[in-house]
Amino acid sequence: MSRPASTNPPGRPPLRRGALTPTLIVVAVVVVGFIFFANVWTDVLWYQQLGFIEVYVTENLARILTFLGGFALMFLAVFYAIRVAYHARPVYAPDSESRDNMNRYQAQLEPVRRVVMIGIPVLFGLFAGSAAASQWQKILLFFNQVPFGQTDPQFGLDISFYLMSLPFLGFVTGFLMSVVVVAGIAGILTHYLYGSIRLMERGIFTSRSAQIFLAVTGAVFLVLLGANFWLNVYGTVQNQGGRWAGALYTDVNAVVPTQTILAVAAGLVAILFIVAAVIGRWRLPVIGTAMLIITSILAGGVYPWVIQQFQVRPSEQTLENKYIDRNISMTRSAYGLDKIQVSPYNATTDAKTGALAKDAATTANIRLLDPNLVSSAFSQLEQYRPYYQFPKALNVDRYTVNGKTQDTVIAVRELNQDGLNASQQTWVNRHIVYTHGYGVVAAKGNTVTVDGKPDFLLSGIPSMGVLGSDTNYQPRIYFGEDSPDYSVVGAPDGAPQREQDRPSATDSTTETQYTFTGNGGPSVGNWFNKLLYSIKFQSSDLLLSDGVNEKSQILYDRSPRDRVEKVAPYLTVDGSAYPAVIDGRVKWIVDGYTTSQYFPYSQQQQLQTATADSQTTSGRTAALPNNSINYIRNSVKATVDAYDGSVTLYAWDDQDPILKSWQKIFPSTIKPISEMSGQLMSHVRYPEDLFKVQQELLGRYHVTNADSFYQNNDAWSVPNDPTVTDPVRQPPYYLSLQMPGQSKPAFQLTSSFIPQVVNGNARNILYGFLAADSDAGNQKGVKADSYGQLRLLQLPTDTQVPGPGQAQNKFNSDPDVSQQLNLLRQGASDVLNGNLLTLPVGGGLLYVQPVYVKSTGETSYPTLQRVLVAFGDKVGFASTLDAALKILFGGDSGASAGDSANNGQTPATPGATAPATADAQAQLKAALDRANKAIQDGQAALAKGDFAGYGTQQSILNSAIQQALNAEARLGVAPAPAPSASATPSPTASPSPSK
């Protein structure tokens, strides 16, 4: 039979079909390798541009070396375990039937034996190396540790041993034990496969080489096990499994001795294994191993259980007293609670006339603008273009205005590319044209305009106001919390400007263009970098667009928190970054924490749970990671420039040993506090998440007596936020406040405490009030001594001062308040309760809550129309805080609120003049009568199915409500008797609508 003729043309060599697959594999490897290289090199460019290449190199070098070390240890151990077992295989197996079975397996394995003997060690080496690389921080801290200068109360060792040495030693011991176990199993299986170990009717046959392997493996494992027992002795002070953290009575008197015994016993049994390897007798190591197992069960488990059940439990309070005292002391030290100032506060509930006279400065600064509610007001009044936006929650800060400190609510006008219409959603628009936001908007915190709008200190486009203008600060926001994923900016001198900048004026329809002039990102001016970033962002447009030129930079990773986390991977970053105008720039201020979970005798907290409140659950503030800690310091203050994205880290707590260790590791990345400018110092504040963690602990650890702590009869809880429906904690609030005992007001972060909540039930009365001093001063590089001082006002446990929940309930149930709020709710309006503030003034606790009214519609926004106040069981309610306080305190509060200038004023109307009081009262009564009649007529029309008539009455109702608000605003405060606990007077003498 003849072969078919060849289809190849004469003279052409035949095709080698086998070359296609290797070629495809090589191409795939090259492509994947280049993609990997692109991501690595673009990271290098990013860190290099920011000036933090040291962090990237050190971190990745540590990861790589650790990976290689872990890989090498596991690979070599498994490889030589298999290799030694293979070369020690017997020539003849003692059992022919078993030999036949093994021979079949060996025959099947033989073609791939060399691959398997390399592949298995490589596979386990990769797993081991990856696990080891994830521990790079422990390794670096161990080799660069700085002593604390503080010892633990049990062993007298420096705290750095527990935070930096013990975790490393535990990691090394555990890793080596894993290596020994995996290598041992691999060796045993190989010995079995090739006949060195056989299961026989008379028992187990082991060759001499297998015996030596088992003995050496067992001895090494037991030595490591003994080291682990020894480390467990010191680990008892980090124990979190008992009722209190640390080494308790059972640990000290039972666990520590037994772990020591087990460590010695493991070492002795290891010696027996070595002896067995020499003499070939296994009786002693087998007996020793059995005794070790029995001892570990009895001494390591049963004996401590017996001590706990029959010695400790009957006399627990007495026996654990010393260890509870250690837990209290070390926990307070680890969380920075050991220097808290605690003062008794015998709060009165009697709202006496003139009670606020001694608190005039605090009263003048009471914040009325709720940063969580006025975002839409900022948007409607200051957005100007659909491609701008404001965050859901604004920030509270303070600025000096006319020589006085003014609390402000502040935000930046960020870019919102989703505001572009569909026809504008092109690659060029999203990445080259629309690149940045514009301007800072700030409003007074303690007052509003007469019609309830924010009273701006800085606003408009271009920016104008008492805080400055575009001429004295850089208003462009390229880096913010809602910036685009990436933008390409920059151009040669004289090139056309392509970036959309801002409207040419507030009321203008024309736009201005701009070209970025800073150093904000890596260059994409050459084809190689363009190619790399095209791969990184999977965009061919980036490679081909004419908008990318030789001077172009690419801006990405633009969130302030993300940037700080990348350049300082050892920090836990606070969930709230806030902007401030500092030295002519808009800078984001970010707080960074050094943390640990290894502090001896300190109670662990779960970060995400401890910092959760109504802000985090609503998404207004970022939640912290789900990590457990028992040590925390606000060690770093970081700034991120909103224009060029530059990151600066300052050593805020330069005495923190963990930070000192990281400074040794990254010596050029953290600047000393002496380089912080005076303006920056004036805007730093006590961080919220640190405060939340501390207040959560203070619920129990305000008690410093061990007996009382054991009884847990004075535990507190943070109250739930009464302004939301879900049972979630009330967030802390920033206020300018003069605490009892302070000589002047300070910007403070505040919270309150009620009795411990058990199964959702609690008496909502006030037990404590906590404030953290947030004023660091305004001197360059000098932190005020008072900054960070925690002050706790402790009320008597038999107090009847209402808590926030009771105060909110009084507001909701008061008949006069309820009637007027219901009137505001009629028609197309919603009534929104603002944040409920608690202030220790007037010898008691004052509650203040702004009330906003928002009509329906896409362009509506809330305006402040009323202020609710409460003191003890009394309630006041008026259109201004000043008027409400006068009502609450019998006609004279003794101090003026920040909005006192609004008393008696009405929204400005061209050609209108303020009417006399009598006329205003008559107008108010008439307006309320019209509103009442409109409600009744509207319901009657609705019952008849007359929807047109119902709509007419709704229009009349809305008009009457506005007229009533205007009339009441003209009245100011009418003389009224002091309110009683049973009834609250309305803000004016005018009657309410009759039924």
Tell me the mean pLDDT in the region 823-835: 80
Is-contact 592 586, C-beta < 8 A? Answer: no
Contact status, residue 862 vs residue 852, Cβ threshold 8 Å: yes
Cα Rg, the chain, nearest whole Å: 36
Higher pLDDT, 191 or 638: 638
The answer to whether residue 916 scores a pLDDT higher than 50 is no
Q: Residue range 898-927: average pLDDT?
A: 59
Higher pLDDT, 22 or 513: 513
Helix (H, G, I), strand (E, B) or coil at 824: helix
Average of pLDDT values for 244-250? 95
State how far the Cα of 200 lies from the Cα of 99, in Å rounded to an integer.
12
3-state secondary structure (DSSP) of residue 592: strand
pLDDT of residue 323: 96
Instruction: Report, as an integer, the average pLDDT of 596-605.
Output: 96
Residue owning tokens 């401590």: 304
Collapsing DSSP states into helix, strand and coil, what is residue 308? helix
Rounded mean pLDDT, 531-535: 95
Give 18's pLDDT tier (boundaries 50, 70, 90): low
Q: What is the pLDDT of residues 47-89, one digit of tens each?
A: 999 999 999 999 999 999 999 999 999 999 999 999 888 887 7
Residue 692 contacts residue 733 (beta carbons within 8 Å): no
User: At residue 494, what are phi and psi to the nearest 5 degrees?
Assistant: 85, -10
How many whole angstroms separate alpha carbon 491 and alpha carbon 471? 23
Task: Specify the length of the chain in residues.
Answer: 995
Taking all residues of the chain, what is their mean pLDDT, rounded to a whole number? 88
Which of the two residues, 301 and 431, has the higher pLDDT score?
431
pLDDT (tens digit, 9 = 90+) per residue, 326-375?
Answer: 999 999 999 999 999 999 999 999 999 999 999 999 999 999 999 999 99
pLDDT band at 441 (very low <50, low <70, confident <90, very high): very high
pLDDT, residue 955, reads 72
Q: Are 137 and 598 spatial neighbours (Cβ–Cβ below 8 Å)?
A: no
The average pLDDT across 173-196 equals 90
Tokens of 361: 């400065």
Q: What pLDDT, on a 0 to 100 scale, did the predictor assign at position 912?
A: 36
Per-residue pLDDT of 700-724, as tens digits, reads: 999 999 999 999 989 999 999 999 9
- Name the β-bridge partners of 572: 593
What is the largest distance, in Å, between two alpha-carbon atoms of the chain?
A: 125
Which tens digits make up the pLDDT trace of 632-648?
999 999 999 999 999 99
Structural contact between residues 682 and 516, judged by C-beta atoms closer than 8 angstroms: no
Alpha helices per DSSP H over 134-255: 136-143, 159-160, 166-193, 208-235, 249-250
In this structure, the strands spanning 341-344 and 790-794 are parallel
**129 Ramachandran zone, left/alpha/beta (phi>0; psi -120 to 50):** alpha
For residue 988, the model assigns a pLDDT of: 34
Q: Which two tokens stand for residue 792?
A: 């706790």
Which two structure tokens, joined as six digits, stand for 899? 């909005």
Confidence of residue 920 (pLDDT cuts 50, 70, 90): low
For residues 547-563, one letter each, b for 16 or more C-beta atoms within 10 angstroms of the residue's C-beta and e for the rest, the string is bbeebbbbbbbbbbbbb
CA distance 685 to 703: 27
Number of helices (H), then strands (E), in the chain: 31, 34
Distances, alpha carbon 253 to alpha carbons 170, 587, 719, in Å = 23, 55, 40
Give the per-residue SS3 of 109-141.
HHHHHHHHHHHHHHHHHHHHHHHHHCCHHHHHH
Mean pLDDT across the stretch 814-827?
A: 78
Tokens of 596: 């640990």
- Is cis: bond before 462, omega within 30 of 0? yes
Taking CA 601 as the corner, what is the angle to CA 687 and CA 325, rounded to the nearest 5 degrees? 100
Annotate 724-755 with three-state secondary structure. CCCCCECCCEEEEECCCCCCCCEEEEEEEEEE
Lowest mean pLDDT among 283-292, 609-618, 789-798, 902-911: 902-911
Asked if pLDDT for residue 807 goes beyond 90, the answer is: yes
In the numeric block, the tokens 């994947």 are attached to 32
Tokens of 163: 């935070």
pLDDT at position 914: 38
